[in-house]
């Protein structure tokens, strides 16, 4: 229905258009023109927000002081404690990111990784609403996290993968020579047919899914991940080992790995970097074990109950071999073997005799001549890398990819890596105040999520009423200030005494 001429002739601001609305199309709004777009070679105007109405033959501007629609109003209740704590322990990460990315991009990466920690399992299209409903939008306002923006941004992150490598190299360059780097990998479900990383892994028969492989290096002394990289799911750890340490420029420290990462797989790299050393277990059927008689245990390892050892030099290969036997572990392995053999009905006494010789043993190779106790302790602490995998897949719910092409996978995994770093920085804070002795990680994070702030009067934000025990937790973590000690009362004037 055309707009009446008398309505169109009413004086109104330039660059505006009149539109009819209402049930009978007898109400008229004045909208601002915001630009043009090309449709089939024609310039078509784009209508913007409503700036007024035509009422009684007059243009009446919209009252800016009138209440806004709730659909476009900002939230007055926001997640507070979890975001503030994450920012407190991790704000230095922004400076690290700014060495490689613009500040706008660094803040996007930072906010995405933070929200993935505060809201495990969050989907990319939910990031915008989570950002608006948290104090991240107050601390770092104006970060663009809409669904389309995040999708394109993760793709751009992966497309410029050289910057991710530069970021990882900056972190490995800061590792001290005396630090131990634990290297391990984990498989992550990826059923996409659009990227080259998704493939059937060695566990495909049991999982019945295709995977990507994510390798991590974990600094045992600083207790946080240092770098990571994605590989196809069907690539063996042996093949990925040298590519991982060379691409990330791991050139110093001691690499502690498992049997899937033998030093021989990167022998040339180790020879070219004399400040980089290795400590790896070798297979129990390795020929060198019999050649050097490494199962003839003659020494007791001080400080470890039931552990004996033997140490031998392999002069031809320029390395030392450390062999250990844990009597408690040997008994457990023998018990498991007997139970399995009897359940299958194929018990063989001769085979048992042969197995008893290696039960509870581990043989380590290292290019350093160190006391046997130090080598054993370094390898025993390797279980810390398993914690990385557990938090990565369980606490953060990063057990599957939610993007498709190669670029998006690499960009999303980069954000996941930063989320893992943040998680371990949180764990260090929890350990410092000994909260993990009382609560699990998930319980602590749920308590932090319940501690919100509300805005009722003007721009003042106030903490909502929470459980007193939860309030004490916030004080222990340094989020809420502890009450100052009451000042000692001054001594008063002494009483008068009758003379």
* Collapsed DSSP state (helix, strand, coil) of residue 282: coil
Residue 40 pLDDT grade (very low, low, confident, very high; cuts 50, 70, 90): confident
- List, as one string, the DSSP characters of 104-164: HHHHHHHHHHHHHHHSTT--GGGHHHHHHTBTHHHHSTT----HHHHHHHHHHHHHTHHHH
When pLDDT is averaged across residues 196-224 and rounded to a whole number, the result is 70
Decide: residue 325, CB within 10 A, 0-12 exposed, 13-18 middle, 19+ buried: buried
Lowest average pLDDT, out of 34-48, 73-87, 124-138, 251-265, goes to: 34-48
Using alpha carbons, select from 162, 151, 215, 163 the residue that is nearest to residue 188. Answer: 215
Long-range contact pairs involving 209-213 (C-beta distance under 8 Å, separation at least 24): 211/187, 212/187, 212/188, 212/401, 212/409, 213/185, 213/186, 213/187, 213/188, 213/237, 213/240
Decide: residue 47, CB within 10 A, 0-12 exposed, 13-18 middle, 19+ buried: middle
When pLDDT is averaged across residues 218-242 and rounded to a whole number, the result is 81
Task: Tell which wins on pLDDT, 48 or 447.
Answer: 447
When pLDDT is averaged across residues 229-242 and rounded to a whole number, the result is 76
pLDDT at 3 over 80: yes
Phi and psi for 334 in degrees, rounded to 5? -65, -40
Angle between helix axes 147-159 and 103-118 (nearest 10 degrees) is 110
Mean pLDDT of the chain: 84
312-327 pLDDT per residue, tens: 998 888 899 999 999 9
465-491 pLDDT per residue, tens: 888 889 999 999 999 887 764 455 556
Tell me the two tokens of residue 377: 């302790």
Map out the domains of the chain as residue ranges. 5-66, 176-401
When pLDDT is averaged across residues 395-404 and rounded to a whole number, the result is 55
pLDDT at 276 over 50: yes
170-187 pLDDT per residue, tens: 999 998 888 888 888 777
| % of the chain surpassing 70 pLDDT | 84
pLDDT at 189 over 70: no
pLDDT at 43 over 50: yes
| % of the chain surpassing 90 pLDDT | 33
Can you identify the CATH homologous superfamily of domain 176-401?
Answer: Transposase Inhibitor Protein From Tn5; Chain A, domain 1 (3.90.350.10)
Residue 65 pLDDT grade (very low, low, confident, very high; cuts 50, 70, 90): very low
Note the pLDDT of residue 145. 93
How many residues make up the chain in this entry?
499
Instruction: Please state, in angstroms and rounded to a whole number, the distance separating the CA atoms of residues 449 and 78.
Output: 10
Note the pLDDT of residue 485. 43
pLDDT at 24 over 90: no
Phi and psi for 479 in degrees, rounded to 5? -80, -40
pLDDT at 97 over 90: yes
When pLDDT is averaged across residues 94-104 and rounded to a whole number, the result is 95
Phi and psi for 265 in degrees, rounded to 5? -70, -20
Instruction: Please state whether 478 falls in left (phi above 0), alpha (psi between -120 and 50) or beta.
Output: left
């Amino acid at each position: 229905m055309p707009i009446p001429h008398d309505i169109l002739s009413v004086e109104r601001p330039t660059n505006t258009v009149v539109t009819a609305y209402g049930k009978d199309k007898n109400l008229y709004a004045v909208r601002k023109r915001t630009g043009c777009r090309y449709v089939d070679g024609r310039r078509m105007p784009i209508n913007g927000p409503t700036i007024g109405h035509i009422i009684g033959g007059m243009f009446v501007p919209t009252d800016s002081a009138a209440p806004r629609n709730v659909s476009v109003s900002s939230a007055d209740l926001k997640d507070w404690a979890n975001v503030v704590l994450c920012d407190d322990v991790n704000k230095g990460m922004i400076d690290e990111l700014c060495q490689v990315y613009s500040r706008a991009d660094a803040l996007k990466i930072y906010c995405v990784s933070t929200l993935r920690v505060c809201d495990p399992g969050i989907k990319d299209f939910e990031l915008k609403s989570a950002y608006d409903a948290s104090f991240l939008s107050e601390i770092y306002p104006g970060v663009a996290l809409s669904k389309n923006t995040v999708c394109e941004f993760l793709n751009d992150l992966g497309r410029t993968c050289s910057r991710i490598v530069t970021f990882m190299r900056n972190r490995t360059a800061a590792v001290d020579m005396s630090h131990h780097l634990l290297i391990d990998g984990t498989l992550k479900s990826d059923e996409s047919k659009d990227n080259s990383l998704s493939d059937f892994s060695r566990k495909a028969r049991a999982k019945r899914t295709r995977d990507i492989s994510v390798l991590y290096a974990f600094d045992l002394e600083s207790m946080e991940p240092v770098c990571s990289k994605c590989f196809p799911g069907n690539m063996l750890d042996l093949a990925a080992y040298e590519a991982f340490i060379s691409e990330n420029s791991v050139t110093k420290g001691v690499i502690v790995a498992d049997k899937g990462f033998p030093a021989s797989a990167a022998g040339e790299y180790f020879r070219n970097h004399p400040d980089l050393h290795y400590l790896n277990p070798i297979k129990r059927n390795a020929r060198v074990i019999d050649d050097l008689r490494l199962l003839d245990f003659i020494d007791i390892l001080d400080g470890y109950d039931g552990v004996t050892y033997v140490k031998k030099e392999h002069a031809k290969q320029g390395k030392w071999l450390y062999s250990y036997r844990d009597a408690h572990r040997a008994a457990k392995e023998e018990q498991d073997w007997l139970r399995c053999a009897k359940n299958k009905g194929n018990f063989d006494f001769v085979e048992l005799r042969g197995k008893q010789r290696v039960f509870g043993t581990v043989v380590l190779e290292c290019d350093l001549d160190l006391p046997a106790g130090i080598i054993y302790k370094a390898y025993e602490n390797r279980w810390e890398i398993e914690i990385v995998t557990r938090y990565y897949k369980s606490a953060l719910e990063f057990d599957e990819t939610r993007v498709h092409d190669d670029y998006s996978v690499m960009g999303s995994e980069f954000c996941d890596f930063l989320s893992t770093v943040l998680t371990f920085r949180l764990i260090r804070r929890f350990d410092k105040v000994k909260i993990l002795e009382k609560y699990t990680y998930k319980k602590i994070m749920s308590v932090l999520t319940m501690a919100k702030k509300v805005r009722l009067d003007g721009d003042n934000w106030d903490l909502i009423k929470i459980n007193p025990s939860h309030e004490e937790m916030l004080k222990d973590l340094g989020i809420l200030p502890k009450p100052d000690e009451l000042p000692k009362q001054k001594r008063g004037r002494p009483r008068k005494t009758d003379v």
